[in-house]
Amino acid sequence: MPISVVIVGSGPSGFYVAEALIKSEADVAIDIVDRLPTPYGLIRGGVAPDHQSTKRVTRAYERTALNEKVRYYGNVELGRDVSLDELRAAYDAVVLTIGMPGDSKLGVPGEDKKGVIGSAAFVGWYNGHPDFKDLDPCLETGNVVVIGNGNVAIDVARVLVKTPAEMTEADLPRHVSDAIQASPVTDVYMVGRRGPVEAKFTNVELREMGQLENAAAIVDPGDLPEEVTGDWSDRDKRLRERNLASLKEFSTAPRDGKAKSVHFTFYAKPVEIVGPDRVTGARLEKTRVVNGRAEGTGAFVDIECGLVVPAIGYTLDPPQDVPFDQSTGTIRNDNGRVEDGVYVAGWAKRGPSGVIGTNKPDGQNAAAQILEDVKNGSKPGRTQFETLLKSRNIEWVDFAAWQRIDAAEVANAPPGAPREKFVTTADMLKLLGSAS
């Protein structure tokens, strides 16, 4: 009997576990489960819609999904449709690759006001994630404040100020591109609580901000040190030097008549979101960096705005019965081992950092542990799982069905765009002729 493995979550970390198991040439049967009908997790729902070349990594995942050892079960949710105990009873190994879908909180007064939308929700909305279809962000504003100096903050800022021509090849859903293009947003303030050297942007993403058609990257030269000092690894120091060089270029570049601006606002931490019940501004305290930490200076500045997007990291609200470590915000694990027969990989294991490729060694680690712990398959896996789903009238979406969704999205694409996404599960199931 093959070793039966179920991977919960079909983002990059899930696919890298499957890929590593296949490459091991062990006798395995691998089922990949996702709560959405569509696979690929953050590649579909997180990677920016104008970065299509990054999304091409799904071609490798597709090869994995089409491998004879693998089955895909979309539209099946751990905790809603099936419990962890039921998966453990059916499979020799359960791998949790469920990511970090929630938004971290700022922890300042006013952050529950209308018009404060975390990056998980905002990015989900512009990427057509069904959870956020009706988000209706407050784009009737000239100014937007994006909090955070990471790549997600850059993605959000860029998507808000790119021209329609620059977005031609993006896969923004139509209602989203209409909303963004109709909005009067001209100024995006990207707020970092520390300085330019501490910012977490990668350099390719930062440089792109200097090349936008109709948006200038505004940097106060007074915020920029002569050179990078501090205790960095060689690699980190090189990255920070490249970022500093890019920011210096921005600080002296001519505006060239660009109508919109992205203001790099360093040394400022949010202390309050201002407004009656709806956001009218963000109050920031100016900071200085002491021993790598942002310290308030007691000087405050208000930025008027109708939308605040905290892009400060992600959280996980774990499904019932999944062991959770409150102190790290991750699934409790010992280098990937959770409990007998249960493993974790990706952001749910390490926390919300790292690029797509960072998940590859994680996947290899989980696969190696499974093969070390389970010498012979003894549980039936998919036959028991399918029986359970059928007994509950749960209609799963298999990979061939996803490919039909994919083909329909591609066929509906506006000129130049790769696809027009379905943004509700109901529309996807309707296409498939499902009874639901």
Q: How many residues of this chain interact with ligand NAP, rule: CB under 6 A?
A: 25
CA–CA separation, 43 vs 39, rounded Å? 9
149 counts as binding ligand NAP under rule CB under 6 A: yes
195 counts as binding ligand NAP under rule CB under 6 A: no
For ligand NAP, the closer CB: 39 or 192: 192
Pick from 155, 187, 208, 420: which binds ligand NAP (CB under 6 A)? 155
Categorise residue 251: left if φ over 0, alpha if ψ from -120 to 50, beta otherwise. Answer: alpha
Q: At CB < 8 A and 24+ separation, what contacts does 287-294 make?
A: 287/193, 287/194, 289/194, 289/195, 289/198, 292/194, 292/198, 292/230, 293/194, 294/193, 294/194, 294/267, 294/269
Minimal CA–CA distance to 202: which of 254, 144, 153? 153
50 counts as binding ligand NAP under rule CB under 6 A: no
If DSSP codes are grouped into helix, strand and coil, which group holds residue 181?
Answer: helix
Pick from 70, 147, 190, 342: which binds ligand NAP (CB under 6 A)? 147
328 counts as binding ligand NAP under rule CB under 6 A: no
User: For the window 334-353, what string marks contact with ligand NAP as x by the rule CB under 6 A?
Assistant: ------------------xx
Pick from 172, 206, 311, 344: which binds ligand NAP (CB under 6 A)? 311
106 counts as binding ligand NAP under rule CB under 6 A: yes
CA–CA separation, 111 vs 115, rounded Å? 9
Pick from 55, 174, 200, 337: which binds ligand NAP (CB under 6 A)? 200
269 counts as binding ligand NAP under rule CB under 6 A: yes
CA–CA separation, 291 vs 237, rounded Å? 16
148 counts as binding ligand NAP under rule CB under 6 A: yes
CA–CA separation, 280 vs 365, rounded Å? 48
For ligand NAP, the closer CB: 362 or 420: 362
194 counts as binding ligand NAP under rule CB under 6 A: yes
First-to-last CA distance in the chain?
35
Pick from 24, 202, 280, 315: which binds ligand NAP (CB under 6 A)? 202
Number of Cβ atoms within 10 Å of the Cβ of 113: 17
**Element spanning 29, H or E:** strand 28-34
Contacts with ligand NAP by CB under 6 A lie at 106, 147-153, 155, 192-194, 198, 200, 202, 205, 269-270, 311-313, 352-355
